[in-house]
Amino acid sequence: MISTNRIWHKEAISIADLNAFGKGNMCEHLGIEFTELGANYLVAKMPVDHRTKQPFGLLHGGASVVLAESVASMASALVVDMEQASCVGIEINANHIRAMRTGYVFGKCTPLHLGATTHVWNIQITNDKNQLVCISRLTVSVLRKKN
């Protein structure tokens, strides 16, 4: 079981700093914004709109997976010393539970395992009523940089 103590490598990083990492990439394209950084969790939100819906007007399952991987990958990056290591996703799965047509979804990731070479994250995606929309798990490889 992962402790509720602070897990982040850096002592002080702001939500604005996290959102700056999302500029010019998939996060910006889909409107993903980081909203909360707790002692051992990270939250991001994503709109359910023309960018994230499938042709039948529902939240696209792939968009949910992008939200899950985005929030958990960022969390892994915050756990390690990024001057010494980089983090890359190696496996993700998702179960889509509830359909969404409008509003926002919120991805909250918490660690299941924080090892020297792998991290495993649980990501719960909910709607604004805190109802489960998708549950996902991401495994990340921690790659040591060569000096």
**CATH number for the domain including 68?**
3.10.129.10
Q: Look at residue 4 in the predicted model and tell me its pLDDT.
A: 62
Residue 5 lies in a domain: no
Residue 1 lies in a domain: no
pLDDT at residue 1 is higher than 90: no
135, 95 Cβ separation under 8 angstroms = yes
As for how many domains the chain has, the answer is 1
Structural domain including 116 reads: 15-144
Nearest to 102 by CA among 147, 57, 135: 57
92, 86 Cβ separation under 8 angstroms = no
Residue 3 lies in a domain: no
Q: Scan for tokens 């602070």, then name that residue.
A: 6
Residue 8 lies in a domain: no
Q: Look at residue 70 in the predicted model and tell me its pLDDT.
A: 98
pTM of the full structure? 0.94
Q: Which stretch of DSSP H or E encloses residue 21?
A: helix 15-21
Residue 94 lies in a domain: yes
Confidence class of residue 132 from pLDDT cuts 50, 70 and 90?
very high
Classified as helix, coil or strand, 63 is helix
Nearest to 94 by CA among 105, 103, 81: 105
Q: Look at residue 2 in the predicted model and tell me its pLDDT.
A: 55
73, 66 Cβ separation under 8 angstroms = no
Confidence class of residue 3 from pLDDT cuts 50, 70 and 90?
low
Which positions are annotated as active-site residues?
69
And the tokens for 95? 């179960």
What's the rounded Cα separation, in Å, for the pair 126 and 25? 23
Residue 2 lies in a domain: no
- Please give the average per-residue pLDDT across 111-123, as a whole number: 97
- Encode pLDDT of 28-51 as tens digits: 999 999 999 999 999 999 999 999
Cα 40 to chain centroid, rounded: 13
pLDDT at residue 10 is higher than 80: no
